[in-house]
Amino acid sequence: MTDRDDDEPVLVAYPDGPFLLRGNVKVVGPDGQELPRRRRTVALCRCGKSTLKPYCDGTHKLIGFRTEPEEPGRDARDAAAD
């Protein structure tokens, strides 16, 4: 592992969940305006269903969002039941 500056932006794809954005970086909306950031690390929606987009609100857990391809013949409800 290498040393890095704490302000260096890092984007981590959390398995079956959001993107975690760490570091000194602006989050900008479609209108070009900077969006509020209250924490140094923020979770960005990856499932597309958050009511707080672009931020994650945990909906990925409710809908059974998976980052791996589903098995043929299975839907998200089957996977969530596992």
Residue 1: per-residue pLDDT: 44
Q: Which two tokens stand for residue 48?
A: 């597309």
Tens-binned pLDDT, residue by residue, of the chain (82 aa):
455 566 799 999 999 999 999 998 999 999 999 999 888 899 999 999 999 999 999 999 999 999 987 667 666 555 555 5
**What does the alpha-carbon distance between residue 60 and residue 57 come to, in Å, rounded to a whole number?**
8
Written as one letter, the residue type at 79 is A
